[in-house]
Amino acid sequence: MNKKMMRTIAISMMLVTSVGFLAGCGSTQQVGYVDVAKIASDTTKGQEIDKNLQAKNQELMQKLQQVAAAGDEAATAQVQQASEQEFYNYRVAQNKEFKTAVENATAEIAKEKKLDVVFQKAAVVNGGLDVTDDVINKLGKAATTSTDTATTAATK
C-alpha cells in the first residue's frame, strides 16, 4: 500500500473512534455525593448513636472498675475481654443502623433529584452535586451541629 492509502485509512479510523466517543458524551450520568462525617455529626440520628456509644462505654467501664477493685486479676482480664467484645458488637449494630438510615435517605434524595449514583465525598475529585444537607434534613437536623459549634468558636 502506498502512503496516501495508509494515511486515508488512519484518518478514517480516527474519525470512527472520535464519533464513538462523541456518541457516549450525550448520555452523561448525574452524580451526587454526601459527606458522611457531617451527616453523623449534624443529624439527631448520628448524635443519638454517639450518645448511645458513650453511655455503653461508660457502663462497661464501671463494670470493669468494680471487678478490678476486688483485686482478682484473672476475673478483671475476663471481664475486660467480654466488655471489649460486647462494646464491639454494640458499635457494629449502631453503625449498621446509622448506615441503613443514611442509605435510605440518600436513595430517596437521589430519586428526587434524578441522580444516577451517589458517592461518598472522599471518592469525588471534581464535579457532582453535594446532597449532604438534603440527607441531613431528611434524617432530622440536630439542634446543635458541627457547623454551629465551629461558627460559635470562630466568633469568640
Task: List the CATH number of the domain containing 144.
Answer: 3.30.910.20
Flag whether 122 is in a domain: yes
Dihedral sign for Cα 122, 128, 42, 89, please: negative
Q: What are the backbone angles phi and psi of residue 129, rounded to the nearest 5°?
A: -110, 125
Residue 87 placed within a domain: yes
Domain assignment present for residue 72? The answer is yes
Establish if 17 belongs to a structural domain.
no
pTM above 0.75, yes or no: no
Instruction: State the chain's maximal CA–CA distance in angstroms.
Output: 96
Strand 129-130 to 117-120 pairing? unpaired
What is the residue-level pLDDT of the chain in tens, covering all 156 positions?
A: 555 655 666 565 555 554 444 444 555 788 999 999 999 999 999 999 999 999 999 999 999 999 888 888 888 999 999 999 999 999 999 999 999 999 999 999 999 999 999 988 888 888 889 999 999 999 989 887 655 555 444 444
| Residue 1 resides in a domain | no
Question: Considering the domain boundaries, does residue 108 fall inside one?
Answer: yes
Q: Report if residue 10 sits inside a domain.
A: no
79 CB-near residues (< 8 Å, 6+ apart): 63, 64, 67
- Let me know if residue 11 belongs to a domain: no
Domain that holds residue 115: 28-149
| Structural domain count of the chain | 1
- Return the residue matching grid coordinates 480516527: 14
Query: Could you tell me if 115 and 135 are in contact, meaning their C-beta atoms sit under 8 angstroms apart?
Result: no
